[in-house]
Amino acid sequence: MTDKHRRFKQRLEQLNEIIMGGLGCYSVWNKLRLRDPSEVDWSLERQNEILGRWLGFFTIVVAALQQMAMLEFAKVFDTDPRTVSLIVLLDEAKRDRSLVPNADDAELAAISEKIQEAETTRETIRQLRNQRLAHADAYPGQLPELMNHSVESLAENIQDAFNRLSRAHDQSTYSWAHALRTSSSHTFEILRILSKEIEHTQTEFNSRMVEMALGEVERMEGTLGRPLEAGELDFVIKPFGLSEGQAERVRQARLL
């Protein structure tokens, strides 16, 4: 392998890392924003409760993920010859066809076409900055056009164009699927852990409220020297502002 081929390969690998970074950030951001009932077992309300409960964290995280994804995608289309981008590497390959011995004119034209297709979505992508971030949409079918088609199409075109160029160079291709699945699954796992934490906190809170109300009921019964009647019981526990579920637990405890 000549030095120029080695340098071209190194630049392809650098571009691969840029693409992976953009796809990874986009994948995690998308999973935080999207609740797909076929993938998760919690409700839309619970996901929004999670994002709202730790708003100071998720607002910063999703904004950073969005910004990083857009910056990495922008690098893929940079026209500065000093950078590593699809456009720069393709232009270099066209000037020196020895860098792409496995491609003919038609294949190079196809790569250019894929890049051109992606160009039409770049301005739309920038509009992501204006999207409300820390909020889950109900179902994939209800997501805005941008999320459903434009970004996904851009990602597919980037991956296709890169793999075509890499194959033209040395017959190698890359797959980002496993890494992206791992990012998605870990994102879901974090949300699941936080959902369990909310559930645990709510359970503890319910128990404390019931115990406090029961303590007051027992005090009143001790004062009166008899069990409270139903109306009296409701009157005693009313100041605690119990939910219906908490109040029912108090009533059931008095029947034991």
- Verify that 37 and 125 share a domain, yes or no: yes
- Verify that 78 and 143 share a domain, yes or no: yes
- Verify that 137 and 223 share a domain, yes or no: no
What b-and-e string marks burial along 163-187, b requiring 16 or more CB atoms within 10 Å of the CB? bbbbbbbbeeebebeeebeebbeeb
- Verify that 154 and 221 share a domain, yes or no: no
**Does the residue 76 lie in any domain?**
yes
What's the confidence (pLDDT) of residue 134?
Answer: 45
**Does the residue 186 lie in any domain?**
no
- Verify that 127 and 205 share a domain, yes or no: no
**Does the residue 167 lie in any domain?**
yes
End position of a domain, from candidates 140, 159, 174: 174
- Verify that 147 and 40 share a domain, yes or no: yes
What's the confidence (pLDDT) of residue 142?
Answer: 42
What's the confidence (pLDDT) of residue 256?
Answer: 58
What's the confidence (pLDDT) of residue 132?
Answer: 45
- Verify that 23 and 109 share a domain, yes or no: yes
* pTM greater than 0.85: no
- Verify that 120 and 154 share a domain, yes or no: yes
**Does the residue 185 lie in any domain?**
no
- Verify that 170 and 134 share a domain, yes or no: yes
Instruction: Domain of residue 50: give its range.
Output: 3-174
pLDDT profile of the chain (256 residues), mean per 10: 90 94 89 80 86 90 85 88 93 94 93 83 57 45 50 85 95 89 91 92 89 89 88 87 88 77
Q: Looking at the 3D structure of the chain, how many domains does it have?
A: 2
- Verify that 68 and 116 share a domain, yes or no: yes
What's the confidence (pLDDT) of residue 143?
Answer: 39
**Does the residue 189 lie in any domain?**
no
**Does the residue 187 lie in any domain?**
no
What's the confidence (pLDDT) of residue 111?
Answer: 93
Q: Which long-range contacts (CB under 8 A, 24 or more apart) does 44-49 make?
A: 44/136, 44/138, 46/195, 46/198, 47/136, 47/191, 47/195, 48/135, 48/136, 49/198
What's the confidence (pLDDT) of residue 19?
Answer: 93
- Verify that 63 and 145 share a domain, yes or no: yes
